[in-house]
């Protein structure tokens, strides 16, 4: 386990956690908080705190924090807002320095909640206690099997992508996130009574296990100048993807209703500063996760020249429009590549870029391995920086109506396609695919490709937009 010289390290790497408000009742939200730690095999010690239980999920329970005669690195408080100050007072008496407050009802909870929010913040500062939240879930650290979540987490996929959120919107998506992205750490900053976006960015900057940072921000609570100066420094070393919500007056009011903070940033100014700092801005939730996937799986291309491979002329036109719209160019494939590809051409000449592989594939279905070995010439071409390709068709659907043994044939065909695409990716340049059928039959192949760092996007537009972001980041890092 790597340690980071930053106060947040005790939140991400605690050796012991006290769960205040733990319960044996599976019909209460708090049940999953402890259960996830037990099920996932959290590597530290867990101390459930509940005055009415002696044992919770096989663990000895304690009536109060002050009854626990063991050191505690992190307290997770999941009691109602009005009881939270009592937990904070116990933390101070016990010398606990790190607290996560899960409950809502603070700055978003009217005058009484706002007063409570101020009092909690002031008490924490007086007693040297760092607080994550209130109104938060997390932290998550896949390397020590730590996840504070209301949802049943089935598995964790470990990688170099770390998230910071200012909302719990991601929590119901936890299993989708872990199925599609290789995550290192996650933090929900909640109402930011203490820990804010500057702290999160500082920590992820220092953390050697974090390779890509993705942040959701509704409003800046830390010093804006500090944040943007830090962002400029961090972006030179690690890609930072930012989803800024609360961009409109109505959106800002909506954000205030659940975090109590009104976003005061001018969106145009915010956007311009992000560009200067080299951060990558996502315009919506889908784009946020898609950009996170692209940066997690791929290194930026060495230039803007794309090779587009489609299965139909119409898809080629749409991809061409996207390429133009996002400031990318078409690679001019050389004569050697043309000579190699000609082996799989139909009886007439076809353009090399966009390359209509569909018409070529029709004549080579019985030797799909040989077909893709020829296609290898495209990424190997010195004029190509990145290949964007429509996903080859799967044969699983057709096999159901085919001859006996059709399923095995289809599986073998699909396996060969995946193997060939991995070989194309092995050339060392980004290879990105987009869905063809948009049906469930493509899911299995997409999962297998993405497990080999070949991202699959819903359309050529979204695939090319991701390439454009990778290319802009390359240009920024090169000082352009």
247 pLDDT above the threshold of 80: no
Mean pLDDT value of segment 336-342:
96
H/E segment holding residue 413: helix 406-425
2 pLDDT above the threshold of 90: no
For 60-78, the pLDDT digits (tens) are 999 999 999 999 999 999 9
H/E segment holding residue 146: strand 146-147
CB 368 within 8 Å of CB 423: no
Lookup: tokens for 179: 């199925």
66 DSSP 8-state letter = G
For 253-267, the pLDDT digits (tens) are 666 555 555 455 688
Mean pLDDT value of segment 123-127:
98
Instruction: Give the pLDDT score at 463.
Output: 98
CA dihedral 27, 30, 32, 34 (to 10 degrees): -130
Cα-Cα-Cα-Cα dihedral sign, residues 13, 259, 279, 225: negative
Pairing of strands 183-188, 140-141: antiparallel
Tell me the pLDDT band of 245, cut-offs 50, 70 and 90. Answer: confident
More confident residue, 187 or 260: 187
Lookup: tokens for 227: 């944040």
Catalogue the E-assigned strands of 180-278.
183-188, 212-217, 240-244
For 326-338, the pLDDT digits (tens) are 999 999 999 999 9
**Cα 176 to Cα 40: distance, rounded to the nearest angstrom:** 16
Can you state the angle between helices 110-126 and 81-94, rounded to 10 degrees?
A: 10
Q: Which residues contact 446 (CB under 8 A, 6 or more apart)?
A: 391, 433, 435, 456
Tell me the pLDDT band of 469, cut-offs 50, 70 and 90. Answer: very high
**Cα 69 to Cα 72: distance, rounded to the nearest angstrom:** 9
| Phi, psi of 242, rounded to the nearest 5 degrees | -125, 125
Of 28-32, 221-225, 379-383, the poorest mean pLDDT is in 221-225
Distance, CA of 67 to chain centre: 39
Tell me the pLDDT band of 383, cut-offs 50, 70 and 90. Answer: very high
| Phi, psi of 176, rounded to the nearest 5 degrees | -65, -45
H/E segment holding residue 356: strand 355-356
| Entry pTM | 0.92
252 pLDDT above the threshold of 80: no
For 194-215, the pLDDT digits (tens) are 999 999 999 999 999 999 999 9
**Cα 186 to Cα 163: distance, rounded to the nearest angstrom:** 5
Tell me the pLDDT band of 399, cut-offs 50, 70 and 90. Answer: very low
Mean pLDDT value of segment 380-391:
97
Lookup: tokens for 13: 């790497």
CB 157 within 8 Å of CB 182: yes
**Cα 273 to Cα 228: distance, rounded to the nearest angstrom:** 7
CB 136 within 8 Å of CB 191: yes
H/E segment holding residue 120: helix 110-126
Instruction: Give the pLDDT score at 1.
Output: 65
The SS3 assignment for 430 reads: coil
* Closest to 198 in 3D by CA, of 217, 182, 180, 178: 217
| Burial class (CB within 10 angstroms; exposed 0-12, middle 13-18, buried 19+) of 441 | middle
* Closest to 216 in 3D by CA, of 253, 151, 266, 171: 171
Catalogue the E-assigned strands of 84-139.
98-101, 130-132
**Cα 216 to Cα 165: distance, rounded to the nearest angstrom:** 5
Instruction: Give the pLDDT score at 403.
Output: 57
Instruction: Give the pLDDT score at 260.
Output: 52
Q: Which residues contact 119 (CB under 8 A, 6 or more apart)?
A: 85
């Amino acid at each position: 386990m790597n340690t980071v010289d930053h106060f947040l390290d005790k939140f991400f790497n605690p050796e012991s956690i006290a769960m205040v408000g733990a319960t044996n009742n599976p019909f209460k939200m708090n049940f999953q908080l402890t259960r996830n730690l037990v099920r996932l095999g959290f590597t530290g010690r867990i101390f459930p705190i509940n005055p009415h239980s002696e044992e919770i999920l096989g663990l000895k329970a304690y009536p109060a924090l002050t009854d626990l005669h063991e050191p505690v690195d992190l307290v997770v408080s999941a009691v109602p807002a009005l009881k939270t100050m009592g937990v904070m007072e116990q933390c101070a008496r016990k010398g606990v320095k790190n607290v996560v407050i899960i409950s809502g009802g603070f700055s978003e909870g009217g005058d009484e909640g706002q007063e409570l929010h101020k009092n909690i913040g002031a008490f924490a500062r007086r007693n040297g206690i760092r607080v994550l939240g209130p109104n938060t879930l997390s932290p998550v650290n896949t390397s020590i099997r730590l996840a504070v979540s209301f949802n049943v987490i089935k598995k964790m996929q470990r990688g170099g992508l770390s998230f910071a959120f200012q909302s719990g919107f991601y929590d119901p998506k936890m299993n989708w996130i872990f199925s599609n992205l290789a995550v290192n750490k996650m933090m929900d900053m909640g109402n930011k009574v203490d820990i804010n976006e500057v702290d999160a960015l500082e920590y992820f900057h220092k953390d050697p296990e974090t390779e890509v940072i993705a942040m959701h921000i509704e409003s800046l609570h830390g010093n804006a100048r500090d944040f943007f100066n830090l962002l400029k420094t961090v972006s030179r070393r690690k890609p930072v993807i930012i989803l800024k919500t609360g961009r409109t007056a109505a959106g800002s009011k909506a954000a205030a209703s659940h975090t109590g903070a009104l976003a005061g940033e001018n969106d145009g100014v915010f956007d311009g500063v992000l560009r200067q700092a080299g951060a990558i801005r996502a315009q919506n939730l889908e784009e946020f996760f898609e950009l996170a996937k692209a940066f997690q799986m791929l290194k930026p291309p060495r230039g803007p020249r794309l090779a587009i491979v489609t299965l139909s002329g119409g898809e080629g036109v749409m991809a061409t429009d996207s390429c133009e719209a996002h400031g990318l160019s078409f690679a001019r494939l050389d004569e050697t590549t043309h000579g190699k590809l000609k082996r799989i051409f139909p009886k007439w000449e076809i353009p090399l870029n966009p390359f209509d592989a569909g018409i070529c594939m029709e004549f080579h279905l019985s030797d799909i391995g040989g077909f893709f070995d020829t296609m290898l010439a495209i990424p190997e071409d010195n004029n190509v920086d990145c290949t964007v390709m429509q996903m080859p068709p799967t044969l699983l659907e057709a096999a159901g109506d085919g001859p006996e043994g059709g399923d095995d044939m289809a599986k073998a065909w699909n396996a060969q396609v995946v193997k060939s695409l991995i070989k194309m990716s092995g050339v060392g340049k980004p290879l990105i695919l987009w869905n063809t059928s948009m049906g469930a039959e493509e899911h299995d192949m997409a999962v297998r490709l993405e497990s080999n760092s070949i991202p699959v996007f819903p359309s050529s537009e979204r695939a090319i937009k991701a390439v454009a972001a990778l290319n802009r980041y390359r240009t920024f890092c090169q000082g352009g």
